Structures are given as structure tokens and as C-alpha cells.
Amino acid sequence: MKRFLLAALLALSVALPASAPVLAVEPGEVLPDPALEARARALSKELRCLVCQNQSIDDSNAPLARDLRVLVRDRLQAGDSDAKVMEYVTDRYGDYVLLRPPFKATTLVLWIGPFVVLLLGAIGTFLFLRGRRGAAAGADTAPLSADERRRLDALLRKDD
């Protein structure tokens, strides 16, 4: 039975595409001009859903994502270029709305922050492991004096 289930899962994983897009665009949003619709889809894939935060507005079913999709399509129908549409949306919502924010002073933390955290974690791990190695080796303990050695031997003989 387990082999059958494993074979069925394997067959399904091969049959289904690995990253089938789940598009949230509603039929009423689709532009009649295929070229404009293709531009709208391309722009929508570059914009972050402000509700979902890790999805493009093209993939999100959130009402705000729908509003942004309609806004993009309205701007395209008004004759704006792709760059003008993106400028309009970022002027209104900030660089956070972009799935790939530009590298500039206001987004420096987004780009460099992960590397700083990784570096601090590596330094912390190194210091922690170095401290444990020194403690395990007994580097901070002094050898027994002759008197302490005699007392220890006496205690050990008593236990026998």
C-alpha cells in the first residue's frame, strides 16, 4: 500500500507543473487589448501586495491587490509607459510596494541588513565555540598542589 501511494505521489508530482501560477486577476479586470494586458501582467508581477507582503498583486486575492491591478490597468489605458506606471505607484506607496526595491539610501537596510545579521551570527558562533573549547580543555584550572594531591589520594583510598 505504501509503495502504491508513493508511486501515485511521484506520478502526480511529474504530471503537475512545479510552479503553476495562481493568478488572481478577475475576468472583469482583463483588458481587451492583449498587448496592454501583457504589459499589465508584467507590471503586476513586479508589485508587492501590501496585505500579503510576499505575493505579487498578480497572485493575490486581497482587495487592495485588486485595487492596485485596476490602477495599473487604468494608467496603461491612459497611455502611461511602464516606467511612468511604476513611478506613479511608488510615489503613492513607496519603494516597499516593489518586489525588487532599488539599491539606494532609503533601502540600504533591506539590501545589507541580512548580510550584517549573518556576519553577527557567525561572529557570535565563533566566540561561543572558542569559549567552550577553552573551558572543555581546562585551560582556566590550576594543577593540584602537593597537599591537595595527598588529600585527594587519601579520600580515594577511603572509598575503596
Share of the chain above pLDDT 70, in %: 79
Is the pLDDT at 24 greater than 80? The verdict is no
Is the pLDDT at 3 greater than 70? The verdict is no
Average pLDDT in the 99-122 region? 89
Long-range contacts, stretch 15-24, CB < 8 angstroms, 24+ apart: 21/59, 22/59, 23/58, 23/59, 24/58, 24/59, 24/60, 24/61, 24/65, 24/66
Query: Where is average pLDDT lowest: 58-62, 137-141, 143-147?
Result: 137-141
> Distance (Å, rounded) from C-alpha 160 to C-alpha 157?
5
pTM: 0.58
Please enumerate in sequence order all residues whose Cβ is within 8 A of that of 25, keeping only pairs 6 or more positions apart, or say none.
41, 44, 58, 69
**pLDDT digits over 45-103, tens only?**
999 988 887 888 988 888 898 899 999 999 999 999 999 999 999 999 888 888 888 88
> Distance (Å, rounded) from C-alpha 36 to C-alpha 75?
11
Share of the chain above pLDDT 90, in %: 32
Q: Quickly tell me which residue has 507582503 as its cell.
A: 53
**12/40: higher pLDDT:** 40
Mean pLDDT in the chain? 82
Per domain, the residue ranges of the chain are 22-102, 103-136
**56/140: higher pLDDT:** 56
Nearest to 90, CA basis, from 37, 47, 45, 38: 47
* DSSP single-letter state for residue 14: H
pLDDT at 147: 93
pLDDT at 95: 85
- Which of the following CATH numbers is that of domain 22-102: 1.10.3710.10, 3.30.428.10, 1.10.10.10, 1.10.8.640? 1.10.8.640
**18/33: higher pLDDT:** 33
pLDDT at 100: 87
